[in-house]
């Protein structure tokens, strides 16, 4: 009873996993990047998805959520990265939550699990005092201003997220940044990416040293 | 400088952009449209790309004119497309009928959002499915496809052009905001791996040419304006020469040909797909983005020991009556999954004829249906 056209057949063979695999494995990572319109939140999500799909040769989906207004309104990018084809592209409980605005933080903080990783822009997000979990903070916007380009805060944040979580490889992420930014800005964006990446590495080293000394508990991905 | 129309390679792109790339790969060289969320990105991409490949992009004054422009372009011998969402789709209805009666190949994309009226502009739905079938006045048959991923949006756009060229009619792609705006890996094959169908041109004496004389397979060869054939194109009931002939017999003859070219070629047109359906006791039937929900639901249900399977409608119109009827004999129950309050569900009920229970998992639009809702229905209803 099933009839295919040659082209769709070829397509299905190429993407055959769409019909045979199930999606839930431990390797699947769900990410929400949130902030306000104009910060490049969607681009940040796109960089992660692109890095996973094209650089790391895995499966990934990105869905965007924003209102009719764009600049200044609240927005979020939902990314899923997996080794299997992803059926349902929305994220209910992120493994990684990246917040670049207070309103984004407040909207999504209740969705995260104990084992989730929370990343914030230190100058834009004030976590609740009672927040009982480890989180990672970077002054991404301030660092972008130091570079002379406030709009590159998202790239710094992605560098930071990649080094802290390892959700995509550093090479793939850098390549995705280069493939996503306007021509002529590659050098500055590379600088921004590694500013965030190196900040994350340094932060991790400090945390591990502290943990080794028994001063802190918690786990990262 | 003429750049390549087929951007062979691997991309991480949105469904809307993949649709535009599919159109260009299929040979589309004219886009006439009016921007509307969530279909604007298709127009944007076409505007950027068509200039480089000797194509034409026109932003028309509204969606009525948009369809008029692609019909005109098609009669000029150029493969043409437009893209819109619900409010624009409503305006297009009149000229879609003109495209059907004049047998004009073209592709119309509807990236559905929640309606009625302006509704939820940035949020997805599948509420225009019946409008696709019945929205223009009069009786007619139509072809409508429903993509479930950006990759499929790419291929279905090529497929839509091929079907429209082969059967000479407007073909609809009923996508939705979720597939249109989501990004995923899209592989664009080499140009020579893409099968392209183009309309058959007329042969023989130009002075004796009859515009609507049935050709091979009952489809009339189509000349382009300027080829030298004398012809007249009208929305009135017309005879083989294309001239108005307003009487019952001519109308019946014309309508039989217009509907027959679909009804007599169902095997060639209808495309379905399945997932774990072979041993299924319960069938989930869906299309477009709700396919993704359904596949996730099949796996979740199977984990709970419920033998669920999935039938996906790749073409929603013409409706696969025979497949649904056959399926009703194989399963104990069915669930329709669609982001509306029950449209294709009615078609399934019609085909099942009460032989097994059929339940709807749907809502009024604005978001994708969670697979948990489908599993809950499977658990409670059967």
pLDDT digits (tens, 9 = 90+) for B230-257: 999 999 999 999 999 999 999 999 999 9
Mean pLDDT within B166-170 = 98
Q: Which residues of B touch A93 (CB under 8 A)?
A: none
Contacts of B351 (CB under 8 A, 6+ apart): B319, B321, B324, B325, B328
pLDDT band of A72, cuts 50, 70, 90: low
pLDDT of residue B253: 95
- Side-chain-facing half-sphere of B362: CA atoms under 13 Å: 23
pLDDT of residue A5: 39
Query: Measuring CA to CA, which residue among B371, B366, B310, B360 is closest to residue B337?
Result: B360
pLDDT of residue B2: 54
Mutate to test the interface with A, among B14, B173, B178, B184 (most CBs of A within 10 A): B184
pLDDT band of A71, cuts 50, 70, 90: low
pLDDT of residue A7: 42
pLDDT band of A108, cuts 50, 70, 90: very high
Query: Measuring CA to CA, which residue among B26, B48, B172 is closest to residue B112?
Result: B172
Closest-CA residue of B relative to A53 is B185
Tell me which fold the domain B272-381 belongs to: Rossmann fold (3.40.50)
pLDDT of B193 > 90? The answer is yes
Q: Which residues of B touch A11 (CB under 8 A)?
A: 151-152, 155
CA distances from B223 to A99, A150, B237, B249 (A): 59, 57, 20, 26
Quote the CA–CA distance of B148 and B290 in Å, as a whole number: 7
pLDDT band of A65, cuts 50, 70, 90: confident
pLDDT band of A68, cuts 50, 70, 90: low
pLDDT of residue A217: 47
Q: B60-84 pLDDT, tens per residue?
A: 999 999 999 999 999 999 999 999 9
Q: Distance from A18 to chain B by nearest Cα, in Å?
A: 9
B280 CB neighbour count, 10 Å cutoff: 24
**β-strand pairing of B120-124 with B106-114:** antiparallel
pLDDT of residue A70: 55
β partners of residue B176: B112
Assess B347–A contact: CB distance below 8 Å, yes or no. no
CB A23 to CB B326 under 8 A?
no
pLDDT of B171 > 90? The answer is yes
pLDDT of B292 > 90? The answer is yes
Tell me which fold the domain B9-193 belongs to: Rossmann fold (3.40.50)
pLDDT of residue A27: 85
Quote the CA–CA distance of B68 and B96 in Å, as a whole number: 9
Mean pLDDT within B347-375 = 97
Instruction: Provide the mean pLDDT of chain B.
Output: 96
Higher-confidence residue of B133 and A15: namely B133
Which residue, chain included where needed, has tokens 């002939």? Answer: B245
Q: Which ipTM score applies to this complex?
A: 0.92
Higher-confidence residue of B130 and A27: namely B130
Mean pLDDT within B175-193 = 97
Mean pLDDT within A169-196 = 97
CB A1 to CB B272 under 8 A?
yes
Domains of chain A with bracketed CATH: 26-212 (3.40.920.10)
Query: Distance of alpha carbon A104 from its chain centroid, rounded?
Result: 14
pLDDT of B3 > 90? The answer is no
pLDDT of residue B204: 87
Residue B145, token pair as written in the block = 């496809």
Q: Please spell the DSSP secondary structure of B93-149, one letter per residue.
A: HHHHHHHHHTT--EEEEEEEEE-STT-EEEEE--TTHHHHHHSSSS----EEE--SS
Closest-CA residue of A relative to B300 is A22
Mean pLDDT within B186-197 = 97
CATH 3.40.50.920 intervals, chain B: 272-381
CB A46 to CB B12 under 8 A?
yes
pLDDT of B302 > 70? The answer is yes
Residue A48, token pair as written in the block = 């992660």
pLDDT band of A26, cuts 50, 70, 90: low
pLDDT of residue B191: 96
pLDDT of residue A19: 35
CB A64 to CB B195 under 8 A?
no
pLDDT of residue A215: 58
B51 CB neighbour count, 10 Å cutoff: 12
In the A/B pair of chains, how many CB contacts fall below 8 A? 103
pLDDT of A134 > 80? The answer is yes
pLDDT of residue A218: 45
Mean pLDDT within B338-350 = 98
Quote the CA–CA distance of B10 and B144 in Å, as a whole number: 27
Instruction: Provide the mean pLDDT of chain A.
Output: 86
pLDDT of A221 > 60? The answer is no
pLDDT of B272 > 60? The answer is yes
Q: Distance from A95 to chain B by nearest Cα, in Å?
A: 19
Q: B251-268 pLDDT, tens per residue?
A: 999 999 999 999 999 999
pLDDT band of A37, cuts 50, 70, 90: confident
pLDDT of A10 > 80? The answer is no
**β-strand pairing of B56-59 with B30-33:** parallel
CB B185 to CB A60 under 8 A?
yes
Mean pLDDT within A7-18 = 41
pLDDT of A6 > 50? The answer is no
Quote the CA–CA distance of B129 and B338 in Å, as a whole number: 10
Quote the CA–CA distance of B343 and B347 in Å, as a whole number: 7
CATH 3.40.50.970 intervals, chain B: 9-193
Helices assigned H by DSSP within B210-285: 248-263, 266-269
Cα radius of gyration (chain A): 18
> Looking at the partner chain, which of A23, A46, A53 has a beta carbon nearest the beta carbon of B185?
A53
Q: Distance from B273 to chain A by nearest Cα, in Å?
A: 6
CB B185 to CB A59 under 8 A?
yes
Q: Which residues of B touch A28 (CB under 8 A)?
A: none
């Amino acid at each position: 009873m099933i009839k295919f056209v040659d082209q769709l057949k070829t397509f299905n063979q190429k993407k055959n996993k769409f019909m045979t695999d199930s999606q839930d494995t431990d390797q699947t990572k769900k990410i929400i990047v949130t902030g306000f319109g104009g910060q490049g939140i969607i681009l940040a999500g796109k960089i992660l998805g692109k890095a996973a799909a094209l650089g790391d040769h895995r499966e990934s989906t990105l869905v965007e959520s924003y209102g009719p207004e764009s600049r200044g309104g609240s927005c979020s990018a939902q990314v899923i990265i997996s080794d299997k084809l992803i059926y349902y592209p929305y994220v209910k409980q992120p493994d990684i939550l990246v917040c670049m605005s207070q309103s984004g933080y407040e909207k999504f903080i209740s969705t995260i699990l104990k084992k989730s990783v929370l990343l914030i822009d230190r100058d834009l997000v004030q976590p609740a005092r009672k927040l009982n979990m480890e989180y990672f903070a970077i002054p991404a916007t301030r660092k972008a201003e130091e570079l002379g380009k406030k709009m590159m805060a998202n790239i710094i944040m992605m560098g930071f997220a990649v080094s802290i979580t390892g959700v995509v490889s550093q090479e793939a992420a850098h390549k995705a940044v280069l493939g996503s930014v306007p021509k002529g800005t590659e050098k500055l964006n590379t600088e921004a990416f590694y500013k965030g990446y190196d900040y994350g590495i340094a932060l991790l080293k400090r945390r591990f040293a502290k943990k080794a000394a028994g001063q802190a508990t918690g786990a990262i991905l | 400088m003429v750049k390549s129309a087929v951007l062979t390679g691997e991309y991480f792109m949105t469904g809307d952009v993949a649709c535009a790339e599919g159109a260009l790969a299929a040979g589309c060289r004219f886009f006439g449209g009016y921007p509307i969320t969530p279909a604007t990105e298709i127009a944007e991409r076409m505007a950027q790309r068509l200039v480089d490949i000797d194509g034409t992009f026109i932003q028309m004054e509204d969606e009525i004119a948009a369809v008029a422009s692609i019909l005109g372009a098609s009669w000029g011998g150029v493969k043409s497309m437009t893209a819109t969402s619900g409010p624009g789709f409503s305006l297009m209805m009149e000229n879609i009928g003109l495209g059907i009666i004049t047998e004009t190949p073209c592709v119309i994309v509807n990236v559905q959002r929640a309606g009625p009226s302006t509704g939820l502009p940035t949020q997805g739905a599948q509420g225009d499915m019946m409008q696709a079938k019945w929205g223009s006045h009069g009786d007619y048959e139509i072809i409508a496809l429903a993509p479930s991923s950006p990759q499929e949006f790419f291929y279905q756009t090529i497929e839509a052009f091929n079907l429209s060229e082969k059967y000479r009619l407007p073909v609809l792609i009923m996508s939705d905001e979720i597939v249109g705006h989501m990004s995923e890996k899209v592989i664009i094959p080499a140009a020579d791996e893409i099968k392209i169908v183009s309309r058959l041109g007329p042969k023989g004496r130009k002075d004796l040419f009859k515009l609507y004389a049935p050709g091979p397979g009952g489809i009339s060869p189509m000349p382009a304006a300027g080829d030298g054939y004398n012809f007249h194109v009208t929305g009135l009931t017309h005879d083989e020469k294309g001239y108005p002939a307003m009487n019952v017999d001519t109308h019946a003859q014309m309508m039989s040909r217009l509907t027959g070219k679909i009804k007599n070629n169902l095997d060639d047109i209808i495309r379905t797909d399945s997932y774990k359906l072979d041993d299924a006791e319960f069938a989930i039937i869906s299309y477009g983005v709700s396919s993704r929900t359904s596949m996730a639901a099949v796996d979740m249900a199977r984990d709970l020991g419920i033998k669920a399977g999935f039938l996906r409608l790749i073409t929603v119109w013409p409706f696969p009556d025979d497949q649904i009827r056959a399926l009703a004999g194989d399963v104990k129950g069915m669930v329709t999954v669609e982001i509306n309050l029950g449209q294709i569900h009615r078609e399934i009920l019609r085909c099942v004829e009460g032989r097994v229970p059929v339940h709807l998992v749907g809502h009024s639009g604005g978001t994708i249906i969670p697979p948990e809702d489908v599993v809950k229905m499977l658990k409670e209803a059967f």
